[in-house]
Amino acid sequence: MEENLYHTHITANRGWLDFNIKEVWKYRDLIVLFTKRNFALTYKQTILGPAWIFLNPFITSIIYTFVFGGIAKMSTDGVPQILFYLCGNAIWTYFATSITKNATTFTTNANVFGKVYFPRLTMPISNVLSSMIQFCVQMILVLIFLGYYVWKGNAHPNWMAWLLIPMVLLHLGMLGLGFGIIISSLTTKYRDLAILVTFGVQLWMYATPVVYPLSQLSNSFFRTIILINPVTSPIEIFRYAVLGQGTIEPMYLIISWVITVIVMLLGIMVFNRVEKTFMDTV
């Protein structure tokens, strides 16, 4: 009787809609291990190590301040420029790394996948979680500057809206997971996509109000296009909470959630389909 409690049935006959969430939950300890591994390997064998988590966004934000704030004279809605760019850079990096890490899930982990069985979906989920840890560390730098400018009276966060930040992280994590595993599934046959994804994510950033506030878009056509972008609404909510400045459009937020759910479900379906045969093509 006890043997039946530990019986596991592994089969390749899985349908498109078989998300197998129960099995993924059983392997939650493995997700934690993969998350720790991914975070540790990111800065392994580097001279400065985890310090890059602070240096990278800080240097990038200084460049944005010089180029977009100094040369292009872009408005930041009264928010101190360095704080505005640090905030946008932190939340965008979380989303971007969720995509780029998952875009090579099959090709990067082919050796592991070919040796032992475990729910393959645990790997992309751990990539999103490790990106979330990196975001939380970057937020320490944001909070340092935020505290300084709040003390100076130049920043006015909406503290109650901070309760929405976990929902923003869930939203962007799901979107990054969906797009990432779709790309990963396609790169098993078309390796060019792995090269194009980094370039595509960079272009996506400029179609998202990261280095400029949404309020600066006066043209109704371009404003609508930017709002349809599913990343725009969660980033504006995040900026509204942290900086006290942001444009929240309920209709476009709903559209963003609908796109996110569709992309994630489609991604899991494609991922489950490809995992059966990817070892023959990787």
* CA–CA distance, 229 with 227 (Å, rounded to integer): 5
How many angstroms separate the CA atoms of 260 and 250, rounded? 15
Please name the residues in contact with 241: beta carbons below 8 A apart, sequence gap of 6 or more.
Answer: 157, 158, 161, 162, 164, 165, 168
Quick one: which of 84, 88, 82, 89 has its CA closest to 62?
82
Q: Which one is predicted more confidently, 49 or 36?
A: 36
pLDDT confidence bin for 148, thresholds 50/70/90? very high
Residue type, 238: F
pLDDT tens-digit map of 69-119: 778 788 888 888 999 999 999 999 999 999 988 887 777 776 776 667 777
Task: Compute φ and ψ for 151, nearest 5 degrees.
Answer: -60, -35
Instruction: Give the largest CA-CA distance in the chain.
Output: 74
Structure tokens at 60: 């990038």
The residue ranges of every structural domain in the chain are 48-280
Rounded Cα gap, residues 264 and 179, in angstroms: 7
pLDDT of residue 1: 45
CB within 8 A of 215, min separation 6: which ones? 75, 77, 245, 247
C-alpha count within 13 angstroms, C-beta hemisphere, residue 136: 9
**Would you state the structure tokens that stand for residue 97, as one six-digit string?**
């790394």
pLDDT recorded at residue 93: 92
Mean pLDDT of all residues in 56-61: 84
* C-alpha to C-alpha distance for 42 and 93, rounded to whole angstroms: 14
DSSP per-residue string spanning 115-172: TS---TTHHHHHHHHHHHHHHHHHHHHHHHHHHHHHHHT-----GGGGGGHHHHHHHH
The full length of the chain comes to 282
